[in-house]
């Protein structure tokens, strides 16, 4: 009971530690932080100088002695110290210092990370003052956040297309029955657009421009109204600024290779799914989460390729953090009722 009363006053939080974005949900307040998972580092001292949105603003425009990194870019922790500093920064930013109570923290992590990496994440949350830390695999959090009935004895398939990784899982009775992680997702789509411009037009464009093209006119499936867009970059030969107009058909062609890899990992997961659960998927279909799933035509493409119904979660960018939040609330229910829902 005391624990329950305490929990009303503490800033218990759910964190989506994404390869591109970190989101934090605080119980009773909702999503309070949404920042890029970016750290700016001083080259000389090797110390972080900025985190999140502030660090991202420095990307590409930094003085020579500062560079920006995305420590989780490929779904694995590239640099333990930097990742830990970033986690600590986000938790401290949100944690109400006036509150004497240490928060409980539930963190959604890419499912591909190793035991050592898990420990590093936990340790960072401990050091930031967490009273209790629990890690949850991102596909599971995404499925909870998308409102899928994952504790029931039926098959639930979630495909989370993030920045650095695509995670696919079939969940039943609260557990991941089959899961796969692929290091091709939104970033790789941007990369393919950059390559296309370079090869076809000798035009060099930055990552941010490529992402902009993807979001504005990118698609995975023919559009009813095909579009075009003016894109500015630097001519590889003359070195001068140049503008070209690109069509949505061309962008789709540029995206076809990475999209095929994403389709393939979904198919491979289906092939490994036990028959009973596959049968459920025929009715329930596949649910998409993650910012990458916002690319137009992805549901149509996956549906054509798998012959299953495919739907996007209502807010793909927040599924994981909302799932972590729901999980936190379940922790309270357990305390009070002493009965664990089967997915905990
Ligand atoms: P992560 O969980 O790995 O941090 P997110 O779920 O936050 O990743 O998704 C980030 C990715 O989503 C980026 O590659 C970004 O370009 C992409 N994205 C965001 N909005 C859109 C959109 N409207 N269309 C296509 N891609 C999008
Ligand atoms: Mg994610």
- Nearest-angstrom CA–CA distance, 344 and 331: 8
* C-beta of 183 in contact with ligand 1 (< 6 A): no
Dihedrals φ, ψ of 145, to 5°?
-65, -30
Report which protein residue has its CA nearest ligand 1's atom 8.
162
**pLDDT at residue 343, rounded to an integer:** 55
Please give the residue that has the higher pLDDT: either 100 or 72: 72
CB 21 near ligand 1, within 6 Å: yes
pLDDT digits (tens, 9 = 90+) for 295-340: 999 999 999 999 999 999 999 999 999 999 999 988 877 666 555 5
Q: 243 CA to middle of ligand 2, Å? A: 34
Which of 292, 296, 321, when mutated, tests ligand 1's pocket best, judged by the most ligand atoms within 8 Å of its CB?
292
Query: Is the minimum distance from the CB of 112 to ligand 1 under 6 angstroms?
Result: no
- Which residues have CB under 8 Å from 9's CB, separation 6+? 99, 101
Does residue 15 register a pLDDT over 70?
yes
**CA–CA separation, 108 and 103 (whole Å):** 16
Q: At what angle do helices 186-201 and 248-271 cross, to 10 degrees?
A: 140
> Looking at residue 332, what is its pLDDT?
75
pLDDT at residue 125 tops 60: yes
How much is the pLDDT for 8? Answer: 54
Relative to the CA of 186, which ligand 1 atom is closest? Answer: 14
Q: Residue 270: in which H helix or E strand, if any?
A: helix 248-271
> What CA–CA distances, in Å, run from 313 to 51, 159, 293?
29, 10, 9
What is the average pLDDT across 195-201?
97
pLDDT of residue 112: 83
15 CA → ligand 2 middle, Å: 10
- For the chain, the residue count is 344
Out of 47-61, 153-167, 217-231, 322-336, pick the least confident.
322-336
Give the residue with greater pLDDT, 339 vs 256: 256
Which residues share a beta bridge with 26?
Answer: 13, 30
Residues lying with their CB under 5 A of ligand 2, a single-atom ion: 18, 162, 320
Query: Is residue 295 in contact with ligand 1, taking CB distance under 6 Å?
Result: yes
Q: Which pLDDT tens digit goes with each residue over 210-253?
A: 999 999 999 999 999 999 999 999 999 999 999 999 999 999 99
- Ligand 1 atom nearest residue 189's Cα: 14
| CB of 75 shorter than 6 A to ligand 1 | no
Whole-Å CA distances, 210 to 37, 148, 206, 232: 19, 33, 6, 10
Q: H or E stretch including 309?
A: none
Kind and range of the H or E run holding 174? none
């Amino acid at each position: 009971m005391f624990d329950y009363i305490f929990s009303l006053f503490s800033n218990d939080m759910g964190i989506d530690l994404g390869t591109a974005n970190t989101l934090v949900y605080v119980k009773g307040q909702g999503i309070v932080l949404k920042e890029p998972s970016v750290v700016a580092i001083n080259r000389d001292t090797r110390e972080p100088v900025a985190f999140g949105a502030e660090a991202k603003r420095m990307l590409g425009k930094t003085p020579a002695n500062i560079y920006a990194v995305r420590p989780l870019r490929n779904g694995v922790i590239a640099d333990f110290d930097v990742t830990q500093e970033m986690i600590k920064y986000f938790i401290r930013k949100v944690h109400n210092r006036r509150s004497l109570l240490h928060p409980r923290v539930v963190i959604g992590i890419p499912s591909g990370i190793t035991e050592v990496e898990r420990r590093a994440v936990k340790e960072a949350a401990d050091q930031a003052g967490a009273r209790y830390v629990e890690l949850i695999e991102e596909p599971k959090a995404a499925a909870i956040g998308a409102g899928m009935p994952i504790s029931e004895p039926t098959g639930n398939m979630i495909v989370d297309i993030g920045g650095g990784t695509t995670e696919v899982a079939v969940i039943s009775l609260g557990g991941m029955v089959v899961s796969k992680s692929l290091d091709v997702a939104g970033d790789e789509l941007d990369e393919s657009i950059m390559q296309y411009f370079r090869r076809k037009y000798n035009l060099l464009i930055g990552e941010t421009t490529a992402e902009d093209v993807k979001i504005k006119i990118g698609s995975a499936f023919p559009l009813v109204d095909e579009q075009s867009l003016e894109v500015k970059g630097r001519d590889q030969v003359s070195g001068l600024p140049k503008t070209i107009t690109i069509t949505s058909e061309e962008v789709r062609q540029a995206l076809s290779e990475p999209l095929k890899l994403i389709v393939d990992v979904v198919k491979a997961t289906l092939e490994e799914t036990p028959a009973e659960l596959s049968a459920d998927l025929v009715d329930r279909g596949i649910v998409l989460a993650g910012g990458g799933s916002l690319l137009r035509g992805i549901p149509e493409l996956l549906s054509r390729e798998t012959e299953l119904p495919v739907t996007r979660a209502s807010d793909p960018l927040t599924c994981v953090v909302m799932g972590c939040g729901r999980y936190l609330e379940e922790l309270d229910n357990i305390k009070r009722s002493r009965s664990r829902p089967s997915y905990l």
